[in-house]
Structure 1
Amino acid sequence: MTQPYIGEDGAMTPALRMFAIVPSGNELAVLPKAIRADTAGSVTLQAAGDTVPVTINMVAGEILPIRARLVTAATATLHGLV
């Protein structure tokens, strides 16, 4: 997992790029600054500093300021994770 947010593109600055997140059992290739959902539902993720995944309910358009290394599941109604 790379952490590209060093220097000018720090963890607290606006994102310079985005990528789609597909829930799986694999670590994300890039550690995101946050996760956003287009629709409401629940997502199971594991933050970079945690050892256990947690399930979080999200509303449409919500942004979670969580640096997740794993996104393992999402409900059928949750779409558009970036």
Structure 2
Amino acid sequence: MEKDEVTEFMVDVMGGYWPENAAFFPIIIENKVVALLHCDNYTSKEQIPSTDGLEIFIDQAGIALEKTLLQRRLQDLDKNSKE
């Protein structure tokens, strides 16, 4: 992981240790990052395996959260139109 101002901040927030490899997966809703999943190999030092399945899961989580947000907005609109 390359050291820069952003990664140094992230590492400090997560305990101050520098893993050899790390992966960050953003959960995106309406083109905005709302959460960030961090995975690293600090304890094992082994290469991080393929993340294809995890990437699909993260994408699906973002879609599910966005769907929930849209459903709430529709419910609010429906509620407001009945008042």
TM-score by length of 1: 0.22
Q: Relative contact order: is structure 1 or structure 2 higher (C-alpha 8 Å, sep ≥ 6)?
A: 1
Q: Which structure features the higher share of strand residues? A: 1
